[in-house]
Amino acid sequence: MELLELVEDRSSGYGERLRRDKQGGGYKMTASTFDEIGRVLREHQHFAILGHVRPDGDALGSQLALALSLQQLGKDVRVWNEDGMLEKYSFLPRAELLTKPPATAIDVDVAIALDTAIQNRLGTALAAVGSAKIWVNIDHHSSNPGYGDLVIVDVSAPATGEIIFRLIRNQGLPLDHDIAENLYAAISTDTGSFQYPKTSARTFEIATELVRAGGLNVGKISQQLYENYPRRRLELLRELLRTMRFSEGGRVASFSLTLRTAADLGVLPEDNEGLIDHLRAVRGVIVAVFFEELADGKARVSMRSKDEAVDVCAICQKFGGGGHTLAAGARIRGNLVEVEERVLKEVGDKLEVYQRPSS
């Protein structure tokens, strides 16, 4: 219990603090309280829980965790993602609950978007909600404009899973082994195994609480998350490294994937998640960029920064995308080579005004 109080002070709920920050000026996000969201969860029956297209562990784990908790309250819950459950996350407890959205729209009482910076990144899952009395938006992306009726966008959270955990604890919602494992997977993946800068004491406290409450086997979960890739992922990495280039005096590293190479290797979209980390891990590299040719005449850009002074979310927003300061993305119309040039020019311009701290 002591630990719980550390994690969530019930007397001044997290949402309240956000609201105060907002009123005090400067805090750019709209905010609802956990109490407001908890009330909506208790008072309604039919829910749809949605996450962003090309989902990651945070989106899928958060969706499943909240769905399982609501199911235990006797609620009717649909869990939709445009891409359905990914092969690599199919080990998540009760993964079968998460499906592709139905072709015919369904009316629900409450639709909840998780980990989704802009509403249209819900893709076909958005269209599958015929009507909803209330839209809830729970996320941690700095580019989230705060769409929806009830909104918690906490940019200090390293994962949406962390916010879901705090909501569950603050509102006394059910938390069992399956819910804990989904939340642990969400937090582990979005923090890069508890490495990225937003990983805080609170993150470790929550992880402790999840491991304890769920009786989790951390080694086994980590093996399923990080040591269970299909061989083609490494073959993909080999091809990507052939296209690797460095610019701006070694401060920018990039590689790219053509549709042709993807087809030759038989890779799935999910296979490239995390490969960009190899570029970022090089000494001297500040910005890593991954370009992927898409079938719809666009290219997908993934960007990572090692320095808060170089905000890749701002760069991606220029191209209609978004994300976080240190990890962002966009989908840009144009052929691969053209998009590479435009984006690398923009990154170069940003780095020009950026002063490395004198060492």
Q: Which residues bind Mn ion (CB under 5 A)?
A: 56, 58-59, 115, 160, 190
CA-based R_g, the chain, Å: 20
* Separation between Cα atoms, residue 19 and residue 268, nearest integer Å: 42
User: Footprint of ligand AMP on residues 128-157 (CB under 6 A)?
Assistant: 141
**What is the smallest separation between the CB atom of 339 and ligand AMP, expressed in angstroms?**
13
Residue closer to ligand AMP by CB (options 161, 322) is 322
Q: Are 302 and 326 in contact (CB under 8 A)?
A: no
Does position 330 interact with ligand AMP (CB under 6 A)? The reply is yes
32/153 Cα distance (integer angstroms)? 9
Instruction: Look up tokens 């603050």; give the residue.
Output: 170
Pattern 175-214, binding to ligand AMP, x per CB under 6 A? ----------------------------------------
Residue 80: phi, psi to the nearest 5?
-120, 140
Judged by CB under 6 A, does residue 118 bind ligand AMP?
Answer: yes
In the complex, the smallest distance separating the C-beta of residue 23 from ligand AMP, rounded to whole angstroms, is 28
The span from the CA of 95 to the CA of 182, in Å, is 9
| CB 153 within 8 Å of CB 31 | yes
User: Which has the closest alpha carbon to 160: 271, 308, 61, 55?
Assistant: 61
Residue 302 binds ligand AMP (CB under 6 A): yes
Q: Which is nearer to ligand AMP, 178 or 273 (CB)?
A: 273
Identify which of residues 113 and 351 has a Cβ nearer to Mn ion in the complex: 113
Contact flag: residue 123 with ligand AMP (CB under 6 A)? no
Residue 331 as a binder of ligand AMP (CB under 6 A): the answer is yes
Task: Report what 248 binds from Mn ion, ligand AMP, none; CB cut-off 5-8 Å by kind.
Answer: none
How far is Cα 220 from Cα 273, in angstroms, rounded to an integer?
Answer: 20
Q: What DSSP element (H or E) covers 292?
A: strand 287-293
11 CB-near residues (< 8 Å, 6+ apart): none
Rule CB under 6 A: say whether 114 interacts with ligand AMP.
no
CB of 46 to Mn ion, least distance (A): 25
For residue 69, the partner it binds in Mn ion, ligand AMP, none, with Cβ less than 5 to 8 A by kind, is none
Amino acid at 257: L
Residue 323 interacts with, from ligand AMP, Mn ion, none (CB under 5-8 Å by kind)? ligand AMP
Residue 322 sits at φ, ψ, to 5 deg, of: 180, -160
Residues 211, 220: Cα–Cα separation, whole Å:
12
In terms of CB distance, is 56 or 154 closer to Mn ion?
Answer: 56
Q: Which is nearer to Mn ion, 56 or 181 (CB)?
A: 56
Interacting residue ranges for ligand AMP, rule: CB under 6 A: 52, 117-118, 121, 141, 302, 321-324, 327-331
